[in-house]
Chain A
Amino acid sequence: GIQVEQSPPDLILQEGANSTLRCNFSDSVNNLQWFHQNPWGQLINLFYIPSGTKQNGRLSATTVATERYSLLYISSSQTTDSGVYFCAVCQGGSEKLVFGKGTKLTVNP
């Protein structure tokens, strides 16, 4: 099956810093989603981005489907950004969203 690798596995930032999270996948996909899981376990969908670039406030994401990677940018990080960020992909003809292991982000005040 398709493999999803996220890097870095852990990231510690000071409040106000910027960061880039990466998601590599091993085969072509027609669905890519980024999620944030807060410390209480709630998963929030950030972006549905099988290709191209999207922005939502301090967050933006870019997926280069032909090169099989996606990037999530967090600018001016806040303590509430802490948690685990997951990338998930789905291949054409499949109903199964495959998740990476996530990047654990800690933003210190």
Chain B
Amino acid sequence: ETGVTQTPRHLVMGMTNKKSLKCEQHLGHNAMYWYKQSAKKPLELMFVYNFKEQTENNSVPSRFSPECPNSSHLFLHLHTLQPEDSALYLCASSQGIQETQYFGPGTRLLVL
């Protein structure tokens, strides 16, 4: 599925940096999601947006800040991250909540 794109694909950042991850879906979907995948852990849902409104925040630390300017774009703003935040960050979209989810290729983040 190539309908969901993510940039950058790889990111190395220091703990004092500020960076942003971008996700764009070309499927006309109304819901978008951020997931975190750490080594040897199940995928963890971070945020859910439905019709540009945040409907789920899964107890994510405030150093992760999502933004959804429209139904096609989703950002994850990162600041003062910790080394344990190193992971694969995946974006997904679906037509509606609880419908089939389509994932982007992910951003591999390394925090030094």
Contacts and interface: CB of A to CB of B under 8 A. Distances in A.
Interface stretch (B60-68, B70-78, B98-106): B98-106
Contact of B103 (A43, A96, A98): A43
Contact of A42 (B41, B55, B56, B106): B106
A17 interface: no
Q: Secondary structure of the A side of the interface?
A: strand
Given A42-B103, A86-B43, A96-B58, 20 more contacts: A30-B98, A31-B98, A40-B105, A41-B37, A41-B88, A41-B105, A42-B106, A43-B103, A44-B1, A44-B103, A45-B1, A45-B101, A45-B102, A95-B50, A95-B56, A96-B45, A96-B56, A98-B45, A99-B42, A101-B41
Say which size band chain A's interface belongs to.
Answer: 20 to 34
Contacts, number: 54
B47 to A, nearest CB: 10
Contacts of A45: 1, 100-103
Interface of B: 1, 33, 37, 41-45, 48, 50, 55-56, 58, 88, 90, 92, 97-103, 105-106, 108
Going nearest first, the 5 A-B pairs with the smallest beta carbon separation are A43-B103, A99-B43, A48-B100, A99-B42, A31-B98
B108 A41 contact: yes
A100 B56 contact: no
Contacts of B50: 95
A86 B37 CA distance: 12
Contacts of A4: 42
B59 to A, nearest CB: 11
Nearest to B88: A41
Contact of A33 (B42, B45, B48, B101): B101
